[in-house]
Structure 1
Amino acid sequence: MDPFIKIQTPQKSMIRIILDSLIVFVKLPLFAILILEIVIMNDYIFRQIQRLQFHIVFHKFLRIIILVHNYISGRLLLLVLGYFKYKSLFHNNTSNFKHVNLQSYCFYCLRTSPIDVLVYITYFSPSFTHISIQKDKVKCKIISYGTAIIESFYISKCSFKDFTDGENIKDLMIQIRKTRTGPLIVFWEGGITNGYSFLKIDQTIINEIYNINSFAKEPLQKSHYLNQNPQGIVCLQNDDRMNLIGNSPIQMLITILKNQFCSLEMFFLKFQPYNFIDHLPDIYQGFIEGRIKRGISDYSWIHYQQQFIQQNM
């Protein structure tokens, strides 16, 4: 299935349309206020303080304040959007996973809607990135929460950009460990899909994951990562597999605001500390088809990005 084909939904009655319109009218100002509060506090206050040179104890204390703030604001925002039910951070399929050192983790996330970005802010207070693939090398840049939220409302905008002055993921992981601004969120598919079929992972991204796996085993890094691979896939599951693909941000916003009494479940797959470079596509395929109950496209974001460019020319 083409991951960008809009799924057809049944026609609604006039009464339902009027009710949805009233819900959108009530929710919109609350949504706007909470989004502005989260962006202002994180992009213009917390991040500015984190850039200053303080003792590590201060950064740890500030990190606690940020986590508490984003959790409260984020949960209020999710409640406004109709997400009243939410299963534990890591579901039972990771019951043997110890929640340690998430600060230094690199999460490879799947993205089907703005809800993904809002949930990660709520529960992780992470650093979001843009990715550039140059001559088979992955370069990254940290982006603001405002940019991450805005771009999550666009199909044709994605986390794959074209720049040469970025840094590799290993350097970013070291930076966020020092400034307490992690974990690092990488939308490794590149684009936003309809949630019914995920994008194929670019081979260059797979190679980069292997490089970080080796990096974590270096003598100077082992203590930071507890001799484990600090990487994993994170994926959200909506109870109704809500389709948020629209032709404009307005369509996606209206779809989000019309939600009522939805539930979320987070799935996590921790990469094992062995040489998985030849097996990761199969592991990913099993994770998507087994845990998330969906399929994988035959193409990566770069293929579809070329289509978007041709359509807009």
Structure 2
Amino acid sequence: MDPFIPIQTNQKSIVRIAFDILFLFIKLPLFAFLIIEIVIINDLIFRQIQRLEFHIVFHKFMRIIILLHNYISGRLLLLVLGYFKYKSLFHSSAPNFKHGNLQSYCFYCSRTSPIDVFVLITYFSPSFTHTSIQKDRVKCKIISYGKAILESFQISKCGFKRFTDGENIKDLMNQIRKTRTGPLIIFWEGGITNGYSLLKIDKAIINEIYNIYNLTQEQPQRSYYFGTNPQGILCLQHEDRMNLIGNNPLQMLINILTNSFCSLDMFFLKCRQFNFKDRFPEIYQGFVEDTIKRGISDQSWKEFRKMFAQQDA
């Protein structure tokens, strides 16, 4: 399945269309207010404070304040968008599985709509990144919440960027551990899809996962992570009747504002503490097909980016 084909929804009745228009005008000002509040508080206040040199105890205290603020604001935002119910935050088939402290983790996330970014802010108050792959080397930059939200409303402009002055994922993970600004979010597919089919992962990203795993098994890194692998795959599932993507930002905005009583399910797969280098493709495919109930596209974001470039020309 083409991961950029919008999900087909049933034709709406005149009554439903009238209710959608009413919901749109009621929700829009609330939505705008909450988005502006989240962006201003996080980008102009919290992020600036976190960049200063303070004792670790202060950063821990600030982290509690940030998590509390974003959870309250984020939950209000999700309620405005119709998300009244959600299932358990994490799922694992392993018995007695413990997730540990996810603060210093690197999450590899799929993205199907702006809802994904809103949910990540609500529950994790993370650091979002831009990713560049040049000559099979992965570089990342931390971006603001405002930029992460704006780009979540664009399909063809949220793929991998082209820059050389970024940092290794390992270095960014060290930064977020010291300043309590994690977890680190990597949208490793490179763009937005309809959620029915996940894009093929670039081999450079997979190699970077191996490198991080190997690093955490060395001293003195091992003492920070207690010998575990601080990485995991995080996927969100929306109710099927929601049209997840649109051809333009306005259509996407209308889609998320006119839905109501949507369900949300979060799935987390921790990259376990063993040498998974040879087994990772098998583990990932099993997670996608068995747990997420999705397929994996034969093409990567790089191939689709060429298609978008031709359309814009």
Q: Match of 1:295?
A: 295
In 2: Cα distance, 1:79 partner to 1:165 partner: 39
Aligned match of 2:311: 311
Q: Which residue in 1 is equivalent to 2:243?
A: 243
For residues 205-232 of structure 1, the C-alpha deviation after alignment (integer angstroms, 9 at most, x for no partner) is 0000000000111111111111100001
C-alpha distance in structure 2 between counterparts of 1:291 and 1:245, whole Å: 22
Could you say which residue in structure 1 is the equivalent of 2:169? 169
Root-mean-square deviation (CA), in Å? 1.2
Deviation, 1:202, is 0.5
Q: Percent identity?
A: 75
Question: What is the CA deviation profile of residues 36-58 of structure 1, one whole-angstrom value per residue up to 9, with x for unaligned ones?
Answer: 00000000000000011111110
Alignment of 1:264-279 (within 5 A): 264-279=264-279
Decide whether the 8 Å contact of 1:102 with 1:183 is kept in 2.
Answer: yes
Instruction: Give the direction of change, closer, same or farther, for the CA distance of 1:121–1:138 in structure 2 (3 Å limit).
Output: same
Corresponding residue for 1:120? 120
Give the Å deviation of 1:241.
5.9
Deviation (angstroms), 1:92:
5.1
CA contact (8 A) 2:59 2:180 kept: yes
Offset, 1:73: 0.3
The SS at the match of 2:244 is coil
Alignment-derived partner of residue 132 in structure 1: 132
Structure-to-structure mapping, 1:1-313, within 5 angstroms: 1-91=1-91, 93=93, 96-240=96-240, 242-313=242-313
State the 4+ residue runs in structure 1 displaced beyond 4 angstroms: none
> Structure 2: where are the runs of 5+ without partners?
none
TM-score for both structures, normalised by structure 2: 0.97
Q: Secondary structure at the match of 2:220?
A: helix
Aligned length: 313
Cα distance in 1 for residues equivalent to 2:73 and 2:183: 19
**2:192 alignment partner, SS class:** coil
Provide the rounded CA distance (Å) in 2 between the counterparts of 1:271 and 1:209: 9
TM-score, length-scaled by structure 1: 0.97
CA pair 236-177 structure 1, distance change in 2 beyond 3 A: same
Which residue identity does 1:309 align to in structure 2?
Answer: A
Q: Cα deviations across residues 48-98 of structure 1 (Å, max 9, x unaligned)?
A: 000111111100000000000000000000000000111122135466332
Inter-partner Cα distance in structure 1 for 2:69 and 2:110? 25
Say if 1:120 and 1:134 are closer, same or farther in 2 by CA, change over 3 A: same
Q: Deviations over 1:166-185 (max 9, x none)?
A: 00000000001111100000
Deviations 1:256-292 (A, max 9, x none): 0111111111101011222222322221111111011
- C-alpha distance in 2 between matches for 1:13 and 1:112: 26
CA offsets 1:84-115 (integer angstroms, 9 cap, x no match): 11112213546633242211100000111111
> Secondary structure at 1:260's aligned position in 2?
coil
Residue 308 of structure 1 aligns with an amino acid whose one-letter code is F
